[in-house]
Amino acid sequence: MSDSPGYAYSSLALPRSPVSLADFEQMKASVLFSEEDVKYLRLSLQVLKAEVEPILDVWYGFVGSQPHLLASFSAKADGKPLGDYLASVRRRFGAWILDTARADYDQRWLDYQHEIGLRHHRIKKNATDGAASTDIVPFRHLFALVFPITFTLRPFLAKLGHDAAEVDKMQAAWIKSCLLQVTLWSHPYVNGGDF
């Protein structure tokens, strides 16, 4: 998935995140994210690496069934879904699944989270793919999507026969990680000094 168009996780050209690693440690403490969560995210990688495309099928099915969500991947001029744009984003979304499960949350990862936030905001939306889509992913949808993303992940987390307690811990780790990431992505949306 690292060959996905516009996937820039390890790019040296990415700007440094305005959120410091010390700030991120405080965010992790606020959401009770611990080394146990890292352990269970990495356990989820063993399960999810073979399930990326089926997971994306579920997630894209959900987004595609919600016109207000699909609008962020549609043409600004006529509101029709942009197939090439959806395909490029899907490849990066697949890489994001694996990046989340690897749980290597270092400076490089933090910088890429900022880039993802910029790509949802009018600052850089559409720039990566040259898409003629809407100018912004509305902020109101970012946090709300944490639930469907993590809720629909559960059946996949159970696929290798882990017991219910392990599946619960993997899902809890995903919820915490997604909350952290969406909070980081919200940085461009927040008034200067208020983050």
Is 13 part of any domain?
A: no
Is 138 part of any domain?
A: yes
pTM of the model: 0.94
Residue position matching structure tokens 């606020």: 30
Is 81 part of any domain?
A: yes
Is 37 part of any domain?
A: yes
Is 4 part of any domain?
A: no
Residues 94-130: pLDDT tens digits?
A: 999 999 999 999 999 999 999 999 999 999 999 999 9
Is 5 part of any domain?
A: no
> In this structure, what CATH number is given to the domain that contains residue 119?
1.10.490.10
Residues 81-90: pLDDT tens digits?
A: 999 999 999 9
Is 58 part of any domain?
A: yes
pLDDT at 7: 75
Instruction: Name the average pLDDT for the chain.
Output: 94
**9 confidence band (pLDDT: 50, 70, 90):** confident
Number of domains the chain is built from: 1
For residues 176 and 32, is the Cβ–Cβ distance under 8 A?
Answer: yes
For residues 163 and 135, is the Cβ–Cβ distance under 8 A?
Answer: no
CA–CA dist 126, 88 (Å, integer): 11
Residues 138-154: pLDDT tens digits?
A: 999 999 999 999 999 99
User: Any alpha helices (H) in the chain, and if so which ranges?
Assistant: 21-30, 35-48, 52-64, 67-70, 83-102, 107-120, 139-144, 146-157, 164-185
Cβ-in-10-Å burial (0-12, 13-18, 19+) of 18 comes to middle
Residue 2 pLDDT > 60, yes or no? no
For residues 74 and 82, is the Cβ–Cβ distance under 8 A?
Answer: yes
Tell me which amino acid residue 62 is.
F
CA–CA dist 65, 47 (Å, integer): 27
Domain range enclosing 166: 21-189
Residue 98 CB contacts under 8 Å (≥ 6 apart), including other chains? 1, 45, 48, 49, 52
**56 confidence band (pLDDT: 50, 70, 90):** very high
Is 103 part of any domain?
A: yes
